[in-house]
Structures are given as C-alpha cells and as structure tokens.
Structure 1
C-alpha cells in the first residue's frame, strides 16, 4: 500500500481545471474540464489518500461511502472494481460527485486537509462513474427473479429514484408517479446545467425504464389519482415529493411585479435549456437579460440564481445576505465560482422594502451586525439604525429556502400525519407514517436538505418497505394455511 498510497507528502491537491470565466459565463455547460482529469490524474489524486484507520470522510458522508476503498482501487488502476464499490452504497455517484458540498462533508473532514489539503474525493468519484458509463459498466436495474408485489413511489426525485432502483433489483414491480413531464425532480428542474448537465440525469431515466421501472408522469396525486387509490393498487407506497413551497419576505412592496421565487426562476431557465417553450421567460418576467438583478438569500439555491442571471445576460447581479461570508449556509466553492463570474455580494445586509411603481425598481436594505449565539449556536443578527441603502433592481429573486406543501389536503388524505413544521411524520425506525403501508422520506420528512441525504432516505426506505411487504405476505400465507 505504501508504494501507491499516502502520496500526499509529495503530490499536491489538483482539482479538475475550470473553463475560462468568459467562456463559462456565456453558456450553461458544466464549468470543469472533466476530460482533463484522465486516468493518470485520477490515479495520482486518489493515491494521496492516507488510508487512515478511522476514515472521517466516510463517517461524514450521509451514505457512509467506502471512500478509502475506491480511492485505493483507483490508484491501482482497478476502475471497474472502484465503480462496484462506489455504486454499492450510492445510487448516483456521478451526480453526488458533481453537486455534493464536499468541502463541508467528505473533503472537509479529510484527515490530511489540515496542512496538505484534502484528497479530491468528489472529482475522483465523478471520474470513476463517468468512466463506468463510457465503458458500459452501468447496467439497468434488472432483477434475477420477479416478485408478485408492487410498490408505488410518489416523486421522481433522488429519494424516489433511489428507492425505485433498490426495490426493482429485488424483483418488485415499481411504479413511480410524478407531477412533472421529466424524471429527476430538482435535479432536472432546480439545479442549473453548469453544475449538473441534464443528460447526466436523463440517462438514468432511460436506464431505469430499460430495467422495468414504470413512470407515470404529468400525474398529480390528489387530482389524477388519490393516495387511497394508490394504496389499493400497490402493496406499499413511498412518498418522496420533496418540498417546493417558497418561503416569503414580509416587506413593504412585496407585491410588485418583478419579484419572483427562486424555484420559478430556475425551473424556467432549465426548461428553456431543455428546449421547452416557457411563456413567462418569453415575456421577460423570468429572464434576467439586460436587467439589474438582486438575489435575496445565502444558500446554494441563491448561488444557482446569481450564476444563472449572469449567464442570461444581466447587467449587474448582487447577492444580498443578512450574515457574513463565514456564516453562509451555501457551499464556499459555489460562492467562489460566483465571485469569479462577476457577482457582487452585499454581506450583512437584509431587505427592508421593495421600491417601485407597479414594477420593482429597487431594494431598500439595511446593514446588520452579528450578535450573540442563539439556542442553536448560530449568531443572531440585528439591524444597525440609520444604515439603510438602496440597490437598483428590475428583477428580485427570493431564495430563502422551501417549506412543505399541505400534502394531506393535496392528496385528499386528512389522516396523513404531519409535524408542526408541515413535514410528514414517520416512525424513524421504520420510516412508515401512521397509515399502514405508507412510507415517506427525503425532504418531505427532514425538510429542505441535500441530494445525498435524499438518496440515503430512499435507500433506507426501500429496505423497510421490503421488510414490511414480505412480513405482511408471510402473515397472509400463515392465515391461509390455518
């Protein structure tokens, strides 16, 4: 091992090279030159792993990926085996390698990070799986034998798809229902192409259909079919809808036109890039071209919005965030990318009012200062009297996070239990709601979170659903035998 690994003492960290700023501002292509991260570079970077006794990279990965194992296999040139190890715990390693905030998960907890810089885990993970796709190692989820049981999954996002794949591999007849016209959820409509090109998601859809997973698209639960009908149709149901209700700002002038929710803006942009006709974009309502844009918020969604506005041709793009850079909830890599692309950041500033006559013309903001930590340990913020200032804006995008929709009403199932936050209430050991055979996971249970956590929930839910259905079938057989 010593010959191939522990090379961090002589090899420096080398992330895949980024495309030129001017070039990447002009299109929605992924910003990294992945093709330059070839077998030699991947092997070298993987060899920097220290193969530590307690792999904190794995401990801090929501999927507990066996990261040191597939890094060692990559360093040894055993890429197919590396892919097998990587895909054993992660349904979408090629997606997580692109969009996971590695800087605060695996790489941020790498043992060599202090002093030598972390191993480029995300880049190697992405390279392994992209190579697997190119060489035909990624196969449809085809079971060895079929089971006479079916499972209905509501939501074709990462949690729903992760559960669908595991259940299909075990032989279940899997039916996925989604209100959109494409598979992928926020991976297809929420995340811009410069972070995740859509073909990466669409090829998974084609692969799952080839494996026998049935997709029912443009299907709204509660309108086209009710939850009770799905319960009658399937042996179990898994709810993985995610959370889409945008949080709002209680400010004067909030009703002016030109103030839009982040998801509406990002969905329109992604649809245009997929070749769809979007009337709101064509009218200019959701197009930043030629406009001064202010994005309110500091998470990854806000970074997606500011960087999308740059590519649409905005004359100026400003991110308004009430805390400082160190306290931003979003990935620092995304902040750096946004800064490189010309985004201006107004730290420690919060909107006080929106100005304009009928249409928004500006954002009046006030400076904030950080105070003592609250009960969660996060510093509180308070306005500084007399510090108001105004930013000109013809488009304001609200990126303040998401809350769950009222699913009991939408699904016409008042017995579906929810928490005081509106998320679905489940028994956390079994992931089942109070309705027998109805399971839930992903953002609709834990609140708005990361794709990698949704994948984890989907995989865990598949295990619980499998146990439930088989136990129920065993009880039925036992009763019949009596």
Structure 2
C-alpha cells in the first residue's frame, strides 16, 4: 500500500466544523460536528509518523496515536478502534472533552509551523464509527472468575476499572448515588461538550458485558432506604475499589457569600443537566447579570451554560491572566465567541446586597514569579476596588474530597492532610487490606483521562491481588 501519511506539508489543519456561535448558544447541542469519513482520513494523513511520538508521551494513557492515525488514513477502521481501545477504555469520551491543546495536540512535533494533527476529533470519530459499524462488541471473558469486585462510583474511573476487571472474568458490581452512570460526565459536563447519549451508550455496553449497576445507593453507616454500609460492601465482595471522585465544593469565605444568588458551580450545572434549564428560579440565569468566579473548565461550563439560559450578561472573574488559566484555551475561545466577557487579574472581595446579591466588589491583582506549579503567583493591589453588577454569582473554585472515613464510619481508612484517600502508589491499595482506590479521590480534582488511567491501572492491580488470595 502506498504511503498515505506525512501530508502535513500539503494539507492544512482542519478542525471539525464548529456550529456558529449565534446558533449554538441558543441550544445545548454539541459545539462541534463530527468528521466525515473523508475528513477523518485526510486529517489523520497529516501525521508525520515521527520517531519519538510526543503526542503519546503527553497522553496520560499513552495512546498509540500515530499508529491509529495511520490505520484511519488507510481506511482500516476496525483495526484503528482495536488499537485505540487497547490503551483507553473510553476514547470517544476523551476525544471530546480532553484538553488536547494541553496534552496530545500540544505535543505534536509539526506544531507550530504546520499546526498540529486534530487528534481528538479523529479519536472520537474512530469510536463513533466503530459503534455504527458493529465493531464494538460486549466483553466476553475467556474464563469467568467466581470472585467479585464492588466498585463505589460509576464515573470514568469506576467504569474504566470495570472494563479491565470484566475482561479478566471477574464479577463486577458498581454502586452509585445517582440514577445513571457517568458521574460528572453525566451530571456536571454540559451537553454542548458531551451529549449524554455518548455516556449512555457506554453504560449499555457495560450492561451487555455483564457489569451489574446498583443506582441510587449511598455507601453510608445510616440505615436509611437506599444505603449500604461500607462493612456490608466489603462482606459482599472479595475486593472493593473506591472511585467516588470529589464532590465537596470549595467555598469562598467573603462578606455576603451566603446571600441569595450566590450558588455553587456543581449545584448549578447538575440542575441544568437534568432538564436543560435549572429547576429552581434562584439558580436560573435568565435575564440576570451573572458573574462566574474561577478559571478552570468548570468555570467555562458555567459561563457557557448561563449564555444558553438567556442571561443578560455573563462575566468571568479570574485572578490571573489568560496565559495562566488552568482551563482549555479552546473553551475560553468558545466562551468569548458566545459573548462571555473575561475580567483578568481580579479577585472578589465582597458580595453586596441586603437579602440577595446586587453587585460584587473586586480588587485588581498583579502577577509575580512562578509558583511551585509553574504559574505566576498572585498579589492583590491595594485600593484597586471596582464593582460589577451581579444578580447571580457562580462559585467555580474546584472540589475537595469528602471525608469518607467519617461518612463510612471506618477510621481505619487513612486519608492525607488534604482529605484524599491514601494508597500504596504501586498497587493502589488503601490502608485496608482488599480495599483499593483511584481517580480524583486519590489524586484530587483532575482530568477525566487521568481518572480513566487510574481505573485501568488499579483494576490490573486488583486482579493481581485476587489471584494471590
């Protein structure tokens, strides 16, 4: 077969068609359309097939990116999917919501001269087409094991662990507090970034593969209906994997932070995901001046959701500049196109109002030397006050772990000083024999792709431990 690769010199980079801002901000449909067969082949053919694929080394799950790009360019889609799935249990999810500009595409060696290969879009295309073509079949283990594993949390980490454990024949039960799988994929990330049918499709695939879901179940020492104690969970299964994620919202302790109109990002997003519009007038952005505090991807989700709900104005207040933002630059650009105003280098000082928020008082900041994380430190400029009108303030400051040992009434489950669960870094086992943990509850709030990696790696260690029992 003639070489169809290395076309980056003759072919320009093409992203999937982006729906016009005026159209997309009126609905909750995905921002980007999918590649056609020809577009996917063409863009995949731009890969330089370099000797050291930095796209793979910058990918947390070490995807075989140049290999499945080549297979796609050659029209060998079934093989491309098999190779993509080999390292990533959910490539169609990561292809949509990973910040590729900071990961694989950011490491592409043809950048900046020729612009990177559009890796994420091709990755999503491969799996979508594989489902349509019937290449994605339920897991059929070579041998069924009698041992069972109970997984707490049906988010990306828990589901990724379930994939690996089912492949090895173990009986897998997933327990989740909500009524559907996906965790924040379903209840936190808006549909304009990830349509929920994509997550539901994977849930059905896991169902068909023999994974048993137990929804609306809280792990708790209480005896309320819909609860299961941690002790019972351990008794029911040969091993337990804790993949709860982090749901405790970080609070901003400022004057007026408890006024009506000050809402938490997760509460706002979860309400919006259930119906497409918030279920409570208090957190309905329609006709309001909305200010979002924060600069991560959750803040971007809130900003773009408020636009779609018909807010009068939507502003983002962030303490650093655009270069130092933790969120995806692609999402910042999308938000700007849709009418969001970014106020850089500013921090809130107080929320003003008698019963409900009427405005927010803020201070300007200046940036200093890089901190331990590589971003420039922040210093507040004295007497630099300014005021913004605000009927609604959304606090998108991140998430902390819940105190599981307290919730589960088991003080032998050791946690770090940050509240995350302590595990052996080699085998993911907690301080309790036979109980493992991974994802955000161990590493803190992070990317979906890191949760997938932890789930896959932890499942391999769980299988190894079960064989030794």
Question: TM tier, shorter chain?
Answer: over 0.9
Counterpart Cα distance in 2 of 1:43 and 1:164: 32
Counterpart Cα distance in 2 of 1:128 and 1:95: 11
Q: 2:154 aligns with which of 153, 156, 170?
A: 156
SS at structure 2 position matched to 1:327? coil
Q: Within the alignment, does 1:266 sit opposite 2:266 as a pair? A: no
Q: Within the alignment, does 1:133 sit opposite 2:131 as a pair? A: yes
For 2:239, the equivalent position in structure 1 comes to 236
Q: 1:145 aligns with which of 125, 140, 143?
A: 143
Q: Within the alignment, does 1:341 sit opposite 2:338 as a pair? A: yes
Counterpart Cα distance in 1 of 2:261 and 2:51: 54
Counterpart Cα distance in 1 of 2:395 and 2:336: 19
Could you tell me how far 1:2 is from its partner in structure 2? 7.3
Could you tell me how far 1:399 is from its partner in structure 2? 0.3
Structure 1 residues 282 and 376, CA gap change in structure 2 (3 angstroms): closer
Counterpart Cα distance in 2 of 1:435 and 1:92: 29
Mapping 1:439-458, distance limit 5 Å: 439-458=436-455
For 1:14, the equivalent position in structure 2 comes to 14
For 2:195, the equivalent position in structure 1 comes to 197
Which one has the bigger helix percentage? Answer: 1
Deviations 1:441-471 (A, max 9, x none): 0000000000000000000011000000010
Could you tell me how far 1:76 is from its partner in structure 2? 0.6
For 2:429, the equivalent position in structure 1 comes to 432
For 1:107, the equivalent position in structure 2 comes to 105
Could you tell me how far 1:283 is from its partner in structure 2? 3.4
SS at structure 2 position matched to 1:8? coil
Contact kept, 8 Å, 2:182 with 2:199, in 1: the verdict is yes
Structure 1 residues 169 and 374, CA gap change in structure 2 (3 angstroms): closer
TM-score (norm 1): 0.95
**Coordinate RMSD, CA, aligned:** 1.1
Q: Within the alignment, does 1:302 sit opposite 2:305 as a pair? A: no
For 2:405, the equivalent position in structure 1 comes to 408
Counterpart Cα distance in 2 of 1:192 and 1:163: 24
Counterpart Cα distance in 1 of 2:406 and 2:244: 14
Structure 1 residues 121 and 375, CA gap change in structure 2 (3 angstroms): closer
Counterpart Cα distance in 2 of 1:144 and 1:303: 44
SS at structure 1 position matched to 2:281? coil
SS at structure 1 position matched to 2:56? helix
Gaps of 5+ in 2: none
Q: 1:329 aligns with which of 315, 326, 342?
A: 326
SS at structure 2 position matched to 1:159? helix
Gaps of 5+ in 1: 473-482
Counterpart Cα distance in 2 of 1:111 and 1:430: 34
Counterpart Cα distance in 2 of 1:391 and 1:468: 57
Deviations 1:379-434 (A, max 9, x none): 11111222111111111000011110111011111110000100000001010011
Counterpart Cα distance in 2 of 1:225 and 1:9: 59
Counterpart Cα distance in 2 of 1:4 and 1:179: 49
Q: 1:88 aligns with which of 68, 73, 86?
A: 86
State how many pairs are aligned. 464
Could you tell me how far 1:231 is from its partner in structure 2? 1.1
Q: Within the alignment, does 1:25 sit opposite 2:25 as a pair? A: yes
Q: 1:185 aligns with which of 183, 186, 190?
A: 183
Q: 1:65 aligns with which of 46, 63, 75?
A: 63
Counterpart Cα distance in 2 of 1:377 and 1:161: 32
Counterpart Cα distance in 1 of 2:260 and 2:87: 46
Contact kept, 8 Å, 2:289 with 2:312, in 1: the verdict is yes
SS at structure 2 position matched to 1:87? helix
SS at structure 1 position matched to 2:174? strand
Contact kept, 8 Å, 2:272 with 2:279, in 1: the verdict is no
Structure 1 residues 230 and 283, CA gap change in structure 2 (3 angstroms): closer
TM-score (norm 2): 0.97
